[in-house]
A and B are shown apart, each in its own frame.
Chain A
Amino acid sequence: MLRFLTRRALGAVVTLVVISAVTFFLFFAVPADPARLACGKVCPPELLEQARHNLGLDQPLFAQFTAWLAGIFVGRDYGGLGHCPAPCLGYSFVNKAPVFETILDRLPVTVSLTVGAALVFLLFGVATGIIAALNQGRPLDKIASVSSLIGFSLQIYFVGTLALYFLVYQNQILTRPQYRPFTEDPLAWAAGLALPWVVLSIIFTANYTRMTRSTMVEQLGEDYVRTARAKGMKGRSVVMRFALRGTLTTVITIFGVDLGALIGGAIITETTFGLQGLGRLSINAVTDSDLPVLMATVLVAAGAIIVFNIIVDALYAFIDPRVRLS
Chain B
Amino acid sequence: MRVRKRSTMAALAAGLLVLTGACAEGNQGAPATSSSAPAASAEPFKPPTITVGTAEDSKGPAIEPEGVVRGGTVTMIDRDDFAHFDPGQSYVNTATNFGLLIHRGLTGYKRVAKGDYKLVGDLATDAGTVSDGGKTWTFTLKDGVKWQDGSPITSEDVKWTIERTFAPFITQGPTYVQQWLTEADHKKAYQGPYDGKRLDAIETPDDKTVVFKFKTPHADANYAFAMGGYAIVPKAKDTKEKYDKEPFSSGPYVIKSHVVDKTLDLERNPNWDAATDPIRGAYPDKWHMEFGQEALQITDRLMADAGADQTAFTFYASVPPERLQQVLGDASLAPRLLKSPSPYGNYYYFNLDRVKDVKIRQAINYAWPSKQIQQVSGGPAAAALPTTILNENTTVGYEPYDLFGKTTKPEGDIDKAKELLAQSSNPTPTIVYAYNQTPVQEQVTVVIKSALEKAGIKVVAKPLDRKTYYDSIGLVKNEFDLYWGGWGADWPSGSTVLPVIFGPVADGAPNYAHLKDPALTAEMDKITAMADIDEANAAWMALDKKVQETITPLVVAENRIANILHGSKVGGAEIDPQFWIVSPNTIFVKQ
Contact = CB atoms under 8 A, between A and B. Distances in A.
Interface in A23-44: 30-33, 36-44
Nearest to B83: A94
Given A33-B471, A40-B174, A80-B169, A284 B187 contact: no
A38 B84 CA distance: 11
Nearest to A288: B6
A47 B171 contact: yes
Nearest to B470: A36
A40 B171 contact: yes
Interface residues of A, number: 50
Interface in A120-171: 161, 164-165, 168-170
A287 B185 contact: no
Interface in B377-431: none
Interface in A241-281: 271, 274-276, 280-281
Contact of B467 (A32, A53, A284): A32
B304 A170 contact: yes
Contacts of A37: 5
Chain A contact surface mostly: helix
Interface stretch (B65-73, B238-246, B247-255): B238-246
A37 B89 CA distance: 12
B174 A43 contact: no
Contacts of A288: 6, 9
A42 B500 contact: yes
Nearest to A38: B171
A39 B175 CA distance: 11
A33 B474 CA distance: 13
A172 B297 contact: no
Interface stretch (B47-55, B154-162, B257-265, B582-590): B257-265
Nearest to A106: B261
A46 B187 contact: yes
B209 interface: no
A225 interface: no
Nearest to B3: A41
Interface stretch (B121-129, B288-296, B446-454): B288-296
Contact of A165 (B6, B300, B467, B471): B300
Contacts of A79: 241
Interface in B157-194: 168-169, 171-175, 185, 187-188
Nearest to A160: B297
Contacts of B21: 41
Interface string B542-585: 00000000000000000000000000000000000000000000
A82 interface: yes
B260 A40 contact: no
Contacts of A47: 171, 187
Nearest to A97: B260
Contacts, number: 117
B508 interface: yes
Interface in B32-83: 81, 83
A41 B22 contact: yes
B242 A41 contact: no
Contact of A50 (B22, B83, B187): B187
Contacts of B91: 40-41
Contacts of B174: 40-41
Contacts of B187: 46-47, 50
A102 interface: yes
Contacts of B292: 274-276, 280
Contacts of A274: 292-294, 297
Contact size range, B: 35 or more
B301 interface: yes
Contact of A32 (B172, B242, B468, B506): B468
Contacts of B201: none
Chain B contact surface mostly: loop
Given A172-B306, A271-B294, A274-B294, A42 B171 contact: no
Given A42-B500, A79-B241, A288-B6, 20 more contacts: A32-B471, A33-B471, A37-B5, A44-B508, A44-B509, A45-B506, A50-B168, A54-B169, A80-B240, A97-B245, A105-B260, A164-B297, A165-B300, A170-B304, A283-B9, A284-B6, A287-B7, A287-B9, A287-B467, A289-B467
B324 interface: no
B330 to A, nearest CB: 13
A95 interface: yes
Contact of B175 (A42, A51, A95): A42
B23 interface: yes
Given A82-B242, A172-B304, A287-B9, A276 B175 contact: no
A191 interface: no
B102 interface: no
A37 B470 CA distance: 12
Contacts of A8: none
Given A96-B244, A169-B304, A41 B261 contact: no
Contacts of B169: 54, 80
A169 B506 CA distance: 50
Nearest to B300: A169
A41 B306 contact: no
Contacts of A94: 6, 83
21 contacts: A30-B467, A33-B471, A39-B172, A41-B2, A41-B23, A44-B508, A45-B508, A54-B168, A80-B169, A94-B6, A96-B245, A105-B260, A161-B296, A169-B300, A169-B301, A169-B304, A169-B306, A172-B307, A275-B292, A276-B262, A283-B9
A230 interface: no
B438 to A, nearest CB: 13
Contacts of B171: 38-40, 47, 50-51, 54
